[in-house]
Amino acid sequence: MKRNVMLMVPLLDQGGLERICAMTAKLLTPHCHLTLVVFSTKGMIYDVDGVDMIDLNLGSVPGKVGKAVNLCKRIRAIKKIKRERNIEITYSFGPTANLANVFTRVRDKIWVGIRGYGALQDKNSMRRLCRRADRVICCSKVMADDVKTQFGAKDVVCVYNPCDVESIRRLAKEPLPADSQKFFDTGAPVVAAMGREHDVKGFWHLIKAFALAKKKIPALKLMIVGEGTFAEYRKLAEDLQVEQDVWFTGVQKNPFAYLKQASLFVMTSVSEGFPNSLIEAMAVGIPAMSVNCKTGPVEIFLDDYRKGGDEHTVIEGEYGVLLPVINPKKNLDASVIEKEEKIMAEQMVSMLENTKKLEYAGNVSEARACFFNGQNYCKKLLDMIYERE
C-alpha cells in the first residue's frame, strides 16, 4: 500500500535545495501518495509537472512580528493538510521549512533535511530540530557524523543529493543564444563557476586566481553563472585589469549548455552541504576542482573521503582536484593576493596546459556524476519510507 508522504519547501525559485526538493517530488510521485507543500510559488522555475502541489501563499514577510505571525499561519495551514491527507511522513527542505515541520506534528513522522554545513553553526536551532525530529537527513557523511556527535539526534542518515545526469546531458546539447555563443567562439579556454552572488561562494578568491592564471595563459576567460548583480566582483575584475574576459551570465534556466562549452569548473565555496553545482558540472563532462571545504567535495572527488583530511594541501583525488581551504573573510583589494589563490592559479594552469590530463579528468568527471543518479537516490528514500517499524 502506498504511503502518504509530504515534502515541504519554502520556494521553488532557485538554488540547490529547491532543485533537489523538486526532483525528489517527481521521483517519489509514482511510488507514494505525495503532496508537495510550498510556502509560495512566486518566481518558481523548477519543473514539478505531475506533482500534487499546494501553494500556501505564505511567503516571507519583513520584521520579527510579521515573521512570528507568518509562522503561526503556516503552522495552522500545514496541520490542516496533514490531518486531511492523513500524512504519515513529512520531509522538509531548508531551515524555515524544518522549523515549520517540527512544530506541526500530527500523527506523522518528522524528517528534517540539513542541506548546508552552515546550519550546524546555529547550535540552538540544531538542538531544537534534533530533539523534535524523528530523523535528520544530511547530504554528506561528514555532516551526518558531526550532527550525531554534536547534537545527539535520534536517527541521522546520509543521503547524497541526486543528479539527473540524463536530463543534464540532454540540456547541455541545446544551442546557446547567438550573443552568448560569441563568448566561446574564439576557442579560448574558459574557466567556469556556478552559484548565486553570496559571500559563502568565495568568488573573490576565484577572480584573483583567474587573474594570476591569465598571466600564464593570456587567452583565458572566466564565466560565472548565477543570480546577482556581482557589482563588487565586476569592480574587482576591473581593478585586476581582466574585466574584458570575465562574464557574469546571470541566472540561466539551462546553465548546462553554458557549462558544456567550458574547459574547467572551479568551486571556491567557503562551506557547502553537498554542492549540486559541482556534480552538475561534472555531469556535462568537464574537469573539476574544488576548495576542500566542509562538506561535499571530498566525498565527490575521493572514493574514501577520510583520505582528504588535510585541508591545507592539494589532493589529486580519483575524480577531481581538491584545493586548500580558503580565507572566509572577503577581501576585494586587488593588491592583496593570498597563498591559496596562488596555489589555485597554479593548479588551473597545470590542468589547462596538459591536454591529456584535461581529457582524462573530463572523462572521470562524467563517470563519477553517474554515481549520484536519481535512481540510487530514490531507492534510498523509498527504503526508508517503506522500512518496517
Residue 91 has pLDDT above 90, yes or no: yes
Give the residue among 33, 148, 55, 94 at the shortest CA–CA distance from 273: 94
- Whole-angstrom Cα distance, residue 345 to residue 103? 48
Question: What are the residue boundaries of the structural domains of the chain, listed by start?
Answer: 4-162+373-385, 165-371
- Asked whether the predicted pLDDT for residue 196 surpasses 70, the reply is yes
Residue 78 has a pLDDT of: 98
Instruction: List pLDDT tens digits, range 220-259.
Output: 999 999 999 999 999 999 999 999 999 999 999 899 999 9
Higher pLDDT: 153 or 331? It is 331
Question: Given pLDDT bands bounded at 50, 70 and 90, which one contains residue 309?
Answer: confident
**pLDDT tens, position by position, 25-82:** 999 999 999 999 999 999 998 989 999 999 999 999 999 999 999 999 999 999 999 9
Residue 313: what pLDDT? 97
More confident residue, 82 or 117: 82
Rounded mean pLDDT, 187-212: 97
- When the candidates are 1.10.260.40, 3.40.50.2000, 3.30.70.2470, 3.40.50.2300, the CATH number that belongs to 165-371 is 3.40.50.2000
Q: Assess whether pLDDT exceeds 90 at residue 369.
A: yes
Nearest to 273 by CA among 10, 9, 20: 20
What pLDDT is stored for residue 389 in this prediction? 59
Q: Which of 256, 293, 278 is nearest to 371 (CA)?
A: 278
CA–CA distance from 191 to each of 172, 223, 258 (Å)?
17, 6, 11
- The CATH code of the domain at 4-162+373-385 is 3.40.50.2000
Query: What is residue 363's predicted lDDT score, i.e. its pLDDT?
Result: 97
For residue 87, pLDDT beyond 80: yes
- What average pLDDT does the segment 268-291 reach? 95
- CA dist 89 and 340 (Å) reads 45
Give yes or no on whether 4-162+373-385 and 165-371 have one common fold: yes
Q: Choose among 73, 120, 118: nearest CA to 100.
A: 73
